[in-house]
């Protein structure tokens, strides 16, 4: 007997193994996840195709392009009389097209503002839509005028040279600041950089402490002198001079105080107390010399000063 041939079902085209596995996955337990993934893929594909058609037009719209009027900065301090925002955009290579979609825009703006001489620090730059940027700034504060031939140049508490043109300080404003005399070096760099002379930095430290009481104490200037008598030719002591001529032996700057020397705050408090008790820093017969480098801790200010003058200390 001849064996009957088994009938076989017609077979369709052979599928690639990866595709066959995908179909089995969709038809099996992974059907829901597959549908979600397929839906997302279709959406992304449609979005990408649509963006290619209209993306350039969208990014070219006004909502994405930044002008300097839409950059909002921390309001300048009362002593800053310049349009900081305008000068930064004029001088900081920000005059070209600026898009809030640029990844480096915030850093570019931060770098530009950090170069302005009145800006001490850029704390934060925030981009917003439609095209706006908020810049949080900390401004430098003048504390001292350094007298140089023909001019008075302002510095902050860190000895950084500040703009000192007539639009920056009026003659009345200039007279409200401590004045450092006896320094004949020129600034090493432009405005916004340190002067480069230790006497300017230390004078600024002293001025920053004295600034609130400078006018009430009727002070006129700060005078540096080399500590040659102590063998410290590269270190300095300072005197204060009142407008009436009294000389106050101040000693070292706050950053250079030695053990046993009163702090700058204690020296200021002593001077304020002396003036309150006597009505002035001057002597009964005119200018005198006061020494705040060594203060008596148990005697009231005026009595301590009189003992020093009488040679009893």
Query: What mean pLDDT comes out for the span 146-159?
Result: 96
**Amino acid 191: pLDDT:** 97
Structural domain includes residue 10:
no
Co-location of 161 and 279 in the same domain: yes
Instruction: Look up tokens 């230790």; give the residue.
Output: 198
Co-location of 200 and 305 in the same domain: yes
Helix 264-278 with 301-309: angle, nearest 10 deg: 90
Q: Say which range, 81-90, 94-103, 151-160, 164-173, has the weakest mean pLDDT.
A: 94-103
- Bridge partners (DSSP) of residue 156 are 142
Residue 50 has pLDDT above 70, yes or no: no
Q: How confident is the model at residue 166 (pLDDT cuts 50, 70, 90)?
A: very high
CA 45 to chain CA centroid, Å, is 47
Residue 116 has pLDDT above 90, yes or no: yes
Co-location of 212 and 294 in the same domain: yes
Structural domain includes residue 134:
yes
Handedness of CA 75, 77, 81, 82 (dihedral sign): negative
**Cβ–Cβ contacts within 10 Å for residue 218, how many?**
14
Select from 97, 123, 139 the last residue of a domain: 139
Q: What is the pLDDT of residues 1-14, one digit of tens each?
A: 444 444 444 454 55
- Closest Cα to residue 246, out of 213, 207, 282, 292? 282
Structural domain includes residue 4:
no
Instruction: Look up tokens 């949080």; give the residue.
Output: 136
Structural domain includes residue 6:
no
Select from 59, 89, 110 the last residue of a domain: 59
**Amino acid 31: pLDDT:** 57
CATH number of the domain within which 77 lies: 3.10.20
Beta pairing, strands 232-242 & 179-180? unpaired
Co-location of 27 and 97 in the same domain: no
**Amino acid 22: pLDDT:** 52
Co-location of 146 and 135 in the same domain: no
Query: What mean pLDDT comes out for the span 138-161?
Result: 97
Structural domain includes residue 13:
no
Q: How confident is the model at residue 57 (pLDDT cuts 50, 70, 90)?
A: very low
Structural domain includes residue 8:
no
Mean pLDDT of the chain: 81
**Amino acid 56: pLDDT:** 45
Query: What mean pLDDT comes out for the span 161-179?
Result: 96
**Cβ–Cβ contacts within 10 Å for residue 210, how many?**
21
Residue 231 has pLDDT above 70, yes or no: no
Co-location of 254 and 152 in the same domain: yes
Determine what percent of the chain is predicted with pLDDT higher than 90: 58
Co-location of 182 and 239 in the same domain: yes
244 burial (CB, 10 Å; 0-12 / 13-18 / 19+) is middle
Looking at the 3D structure of the chain, how many domains does it have?
A: 3
**Amino acid 90: pLDDT:** 87
Query: What mean pLDDT comes out for the span 178-197?
Result: 95
Co-location of 106 and 120 in the same domain: yes
Co-location of 52 and 78 in the same domain: no
CA torsion angle 86 87 93 96 (round to 10):
20
Query: What mean pLDDT comes out for the span 39-57?
Result: 48
Structural domain includes residue 7:
no
Q: How confident is the model at residue 91 (pLDDT cuts 50, 70, 90)?
A: confident
Residue 46 has pLDDT above 70, yes or no: no
**Amino acid 66: pLDDT:** 84
Q: What is the pLDDT of residues 268-299, one digit of tens each?
A: 999 999 999 999 999 999 999 999 998 864 34
> How far, CA to CA in Å, does 13 sit from each of 8, 9, 18, 24?
15, 13, 15, 16
Co-location of 118 and 221 in the same domain: no
Structural domain includes residue 2:
no
* Residue 28 vs residue 212, higher pLDDT: 212
Query: What mean pLDDT comes out for the span 131-136?
Result: 93
Residue 229 has pLDDT above 80, yes or no: no
Range of the domain at 41: 18-59
Co-location of 258 and 125 in the same domain: no
Select from 29, 59, 89 the last residue of a domain: 59
Co-location of 146 and 196 in the same domain: yes
Query: What mean pLDDT comes out for the span 211-222?
Result: 97
């Amino acid at each position: 007997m001849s064996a009957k041939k088994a009938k076989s079902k017609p077979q369709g085209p052979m599928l690639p193994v990866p595709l066959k596995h995908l179909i089995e996955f969709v038809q099996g337990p992974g059907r829901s996840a597959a549908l979600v993934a397929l839906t997302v893929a279709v959406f992304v594909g449609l979005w990408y195709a649509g963006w290619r058609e209209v993306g350039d037009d969208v990014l070219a719209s006004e909502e994405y392009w930044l002008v300097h009027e839409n950059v909002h900065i921390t309001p300048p301090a009362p002593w800053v009389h310049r349009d900081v925002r305008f000068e930064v955009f004029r001088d900081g290579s920000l005059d070209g097209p600026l898009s809030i979609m640029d990844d480096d825009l915030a850093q570019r703006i931060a770098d530009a503002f950090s170069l302005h001489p009145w800006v001490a620090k850029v704390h934060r730059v925030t981009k917003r839509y439609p095209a706006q940027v908020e810049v949080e700034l900390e401004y430098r504060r003048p504390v001292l005028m350094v007298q140089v031939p023909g001019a008075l140049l302002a510095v902050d508490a860190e000895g950084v040279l500040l703009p000192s043109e007539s639009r920056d300080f009026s003659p009345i404003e200039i007279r409200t600041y401590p004045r450092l005399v006896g320094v004949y070096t020129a600034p090493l760099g432009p405005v916004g950089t340190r002067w480069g002379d230790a006497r300017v930095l230390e004078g600024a430290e002293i001025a920053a402490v004295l600034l609130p009481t400078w006018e009430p104490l009727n002070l006129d200037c700060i005078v540096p002198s080399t500590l040659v008598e102590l063998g410290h030719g590269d270190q300095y002591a300072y005197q204060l001079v009142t407008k009436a001529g009294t000389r106050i032996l101040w000693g070292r700057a706050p950053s250079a105080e030695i053990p046993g020397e009163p702090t700058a705050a204690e020296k200021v408090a002593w001077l304020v107390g002396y003036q309150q008790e006597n009505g002035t820093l001057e002597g009964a017969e005119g200018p005198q010399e006061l020494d705040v480098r060594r203060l008596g801790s148990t005697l009231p200010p005026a009595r301590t000063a009189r003992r020093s003058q009488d040679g009893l200390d």
